Amino acid sequence: MTKLKDNNAQNFKNSFKDKVILITGASSGIGAALAKGFAQEKAKLALLARRFNKLEVIASLCKMSDSQALALVCDVSKETEIEKAVATVQQQLGSIDVVIANAGFGVVANVENLTLTDFQRQFETNVYGVLRTLYATLDDLKKTQGRLVIIGSASGHISIPKYAAYAMSKHAITALAETLYAELAPYGISVTLISPGFVKTEIRNVNNLGIYQEGTRDPLPEWLRLDADKAAKIIIKAIRLRQRERIITVSGKLGVILNRVFPGLLPRFFRWQAMRKK
């Protein structure tokens, strides 16, 4: 009986009911799946993304679960948009308890076929967008002793050909999360880095300019990609427990483990593949 009471008390403590949760990149993929997952717990949701029509659909689905959901157009690569969005959230929903920096896309091509502008564009969203989100919400997180969640990637631990720009941005995010994990601890803020492998999202429908292309076929086989809703359940559990990092998907875990246990193995394999093709 005592154990049951302790579990109930712990569940109540970790409940997201009425917590204000801000999610960037919430119009599709992991961001949308997280929004729907938190809506089931009756959280107050601030959903940010560039595509308002898709945001409205997600917000409507969340409201069907009796959750408050505020849809706001926001491009995290723009200097002041996240600050304006956060001000609106504070005014309409209150102080923010959970911040999920999820917005991102991938620049994909051999380095010799990219320009500095391509790398800058990648970092503006994937790195500086996360920093803008952090700075805009940090005061609230200190006030609420909240949770900062950074959606990184298994590519933040390993690198593969054609993904240099993306992997560089995610390696930077990994370093940022590890630093913030220590720096924000005195304020009671937890920092959770989520490092997914292949998930069923629209990231491969977005070109190198960051523009969504309707109908683009994902080259990865279905069996290799984890359903976004299943990924969201794992991520929400990690956020609830204030875990430092959670690597998800079999492919993501396998790649990271191989790189840690056998450093140099994957780079040599990719080099061998490149030489074969030549």
Annotated catalytic residue within 128, 135, 163, 166:
166
CA distances from 4 to 11, 12, 181, 182, 230 (A): 11, 12, 31, 33, 27
Distance CA 234, CA 245 (A): 12
Q: Using CB atoms within 10 A of its CB, is residue 253 exposed (0-12), middle (13-18) or buried (19+)?
A: middle
CA distances from 251 to 30, 61, 205, 257, 258 (A): 17, 30, 20, 10, 11
Q: What is the 3-state secondary structure (H, E, C) of 210-274?
A: CCECCCCCCCCCHHHCECHHHHHHHHHHHHHCCCCEEEECHHHHHHHHHHHHCCCHHHHHHHHHH
Separate counts of helices (H) and strands (E) for the chain: 10, 7
- Residue 28 corresponds to which amino acid? S
Q: Which of 197, 176, 183, 192 is nearest to 127 (CA)?
A: 176
Instruction: Establish whether 128 is a catalytic residue.
Output: no
Distance CA 67, CA 26 (A): 15
Number of residues that this document lists for the chain: 278
Catalytic residues: 166
